[in-house]
Amino acid sequence: MRDKPWIIRTYAGHSTAKESNELYRKNLAKGQTGLSVAFDLPTQTGYDADHPLAAGEVGKVGVSICHLGDMRALFEQIPLGAMNTSMTINATAAWLLALYIAVADEQGVARKSLQGTTQNDIIKEYLSRGTYVFPPAPSMRLTKDVILFTTKELPRWNPMNVCSYHLQEAGATPVQELAYALATAVAVLDAVKTSGDVDEKTFGEVVGRISFFVNAGLRFITEMCKLRAMSEMWEDITANRYGVGDPKQRLFRYGVQVNSLGLTEQQAENNVYRILIEMLAVTLAKDTRARAVQLPAWNEALGLPRPWDQQWSLRMQQILAFETDLLEYGDIFAGSTEIAKKVAELKQEARQELDAILGMGGAVAAVENSYMKSQLVESNARRVEAIERGEQIVVGVNRFTETEPSPLAAGEGAILTVSPEVEAEQIAKLEEWRAGRDPKAVDAALADLRRAAQSNTNIMPASIACAKAGVTTGEWGAVLRQGFGEYRAPTGVSHAARNDCQGIDDLRAEVDRMTKKLGRRPKILVGKPGLDGHSNGAEQVAVRARDAGMDVVYDGIRLTPAEIVDAARDKDVHVVGLSILSGSHLPLVKDVVARLRDAGLEGVPVVVGGIIPPDDAAALKESGVAAVYTPKDFELNQVMSDVLRIVERSKAE
């Protein structure tokens, strides 16, 4: 008897709804069995394409969805009643789900037949991914509203993915990944249970629809054991903490995207093997096999993957599922004493960490007091240092670096680029949409939304009404911003240098030399302009500069170019370092450089880090950027030494 394969997905979406729809239909025709939608950063943070903060970001890391018309176009000729759709959306999850339901209603699809997932895990956004908007309390309320609404109206929908994936991307150890994800699940279920909105039967149904989205790295035996540990810990929590009696409702259900953090720019073709090995962790063992798998493309450390690159990852899944005999056997690791030993070890350590978080008030408290974020920053720093010292071997990076030129990454078209015209086109379509709707219906729908937010009424019915009235993403977001306020999460980067940092004595000596020359310690501003919330690289630069003895100004994510320039002036910095991973480096960096010049700070050099293609790096240097760093520049001590020399040259000119 051959088991049914997992749902095979590709995380995809870019530019406009029309272009993404064409990509989805091509992928489905190639044998993909579910959709995984990537939204651009303005959509994820509740802005329309014409908002000033959206400049340069429209359609870059995902598809731009401003209104119901965009959502219709995104799923044109895709029957939602027959589709399993995963949406990577969090702060604005209620809104994107409302748009999806509105399209399903138009297609005549019964809501009870809709299948899919809204990611809807706001805790990990504060810790790793950065697309949060509102403070924790109202954000958790929105999560609860989506869960309660879907449990009643969309019983086959997963209203939340508890995401440990992004925690590992931020540097989490397996123990941290287990503890922080389960602490998040407990925080959400506690919020639902104590709301008074569910009876015991309904609460069991809520638990049964909670799913997880996990990561799997190259240490695939440990990763497989981590998933067995998580499954057993989830069984214990649901049975003993919440008293859920139905074994089916206690099942640990998860989807996966394997690790992107370990994909390398150097010898990028090696990433194909990394992706395959990581997939084994979530497919080999039947008892903890993933329900859905999506794989990154081999060249994601170089830029946006092309359809061919995504097809290569799709075929990897299909070959494992359909050509091998994997699905003909039971769990081939059941009874292994080595596996059982590792699982027990992970569970013991994770329980201790989970108990510590619950003891301080739970996951929300551990966000607000920066405990979890600080722990992630520190563990990621140790990972980076281990790679630099050669203790953690990365083939093609710190060992076996001699190589032949790769024909896969050469020439024009080696990566996908989003046309700069996409933003203007989307804004024009948005203006046309606004002009064609009934303004009275829009105002009435927004008024109902405002009342729902203020009265603690479930936000979903009013949001669906807004979608059908023609309300835009930015208008929905603005009403909730007015009602809930906005939030800046702790950065996790402390001011105190670590005493146990190894291998930086020479760098500290360089800082001391520069301190004598400047008359004060070299001061660097580490800035994250635009809406990009992936702050791991910026945090590690800030930590290394701090540990080396530099003064560091780091105020976290989502700063405007004007705010960065103001801080550079007010803090009297020697150098500005910008980190951008969303593909918006050209317009944002050029804006910062121009504003520095206008402010009389042209003597302050600018360095830039991110996933930046060579042609773009050259363009940035022509615009006045002193240096550009990409993932291949993994030796932070060398980067810091370069920055110090740049400061020294700027003072000599």
166 annotated active-site:
yes
Q: Judge contact between 91 and 133, C-beta under 8 A.
A: yes
**Residue 523: both structure tokens together:** 């001061």
Asked if residue 604 lies in contact with residue 575, where contact means CB atoms within 8 angstroms, the answer is yes
- Pairing, β 210-214 against β 254-257: parallel
Contact 360, 372 (CB under 8 A): no
Residues 52, 423: contact at Cβ < 8 Å? no
Asked if residue 255 lies in contact with residue 213, where contact means CB atoms within 8 angstroms, the answer is yes
The end-to-end CA distance of the chain, in Å, is 75
What are the two backbone dihedrals, phi and then psi, of residue 599, each rounded to the nearest 5 degrees?
A: -85, 5
- Residue 142, both tokens: 């929105």
Helix axes 200-209, 174-193, angle to 10 degrees: 150
Asked if 532 is an active-site residue, the reply is: yes
Taking the CA atoms of residue 585, residue 589, residue 591 and residue 592 in that order, the dihedral angle to the nearest 10 degrees is 150
Closest CA to 476 of 104, 28, 142, 228: 142
Candidates 227, 247, 238; CA nearest to 289 is 227
Distance CA 57, CA 245 (A): 47
Q: Can you say how many angstroms the Cα of residue 95 is from the centroid of all Cα atoms in its chain? A: 18
DSSP letters spanning 86-110 = EEE--TTHHHHHHHHHHHHHHHT--
26 catalytic? Reply is no
Catalytic residue check, 11:
yes
Surface-to-core class of residue 371, CB atoms within 10 Å of its CB (0-12 exposed, 13-18 middle, 19+ buried) = middle
Which residue among 70, 448, 532, 547 is the active-site one? 532
The C-alpha atoms of residue 62 and residue 270 are separated, in whole angstroms, by: 26
Lookup: tokens for 273: 């093997």
Do 104 and 152 touch, CB atoms closer than 8 A?
A: no
**How much of the chain is helix, strand and coil, in % rounded to 5?**
55, 10, 35
Q: Are 289 and 251 in contact (CB under 8 A)?
A: no
Question: What are the backbone dihedrals phi and psi of residue 8, each rounded to the nearest 5 degrees, phi first?
Answer: -100, 115
The pair of structure tokens assigned to 118 is 């809204």
Of residues 100, 132, 165, 180, which has the active-site annotation? 165
| Catalytic, out of 14, 342, 523, 534 | 534
- Angstrom distance (rounded) from CA 64 to CA 58: 6
Q: How buried is residue 225: exposed, middle or buried, by Cβ count under 10 Å (0-12/13-18/19+)?
A: buried
What CA–CA distances, in Å, run from 572 to 317, 497, 526?
53, 21, 13
Q: Which of 633, 573, 653 is nearest to 606 (CA)?
A: 573
Q: Distance of CA 496 to CAs 385, 499, 520, 576, 652, Å?
A: 18, 9, 18, 21, 31
Which candidate, 290, 150, 153, 163, places its Cα nearest to that of 209?
150
Q: Dig out the tokens for 18 from the structure.
A: 């029309």
User: DSSP string covering 618-636, please?
Assistant: HHHHHTT-SEEE-TT---H
Which of 14, 67, 528, 574 is flagged as catalytic?
A: 528
Residues labelled as active-site residues: 11, 165-166, 528, 532, 534
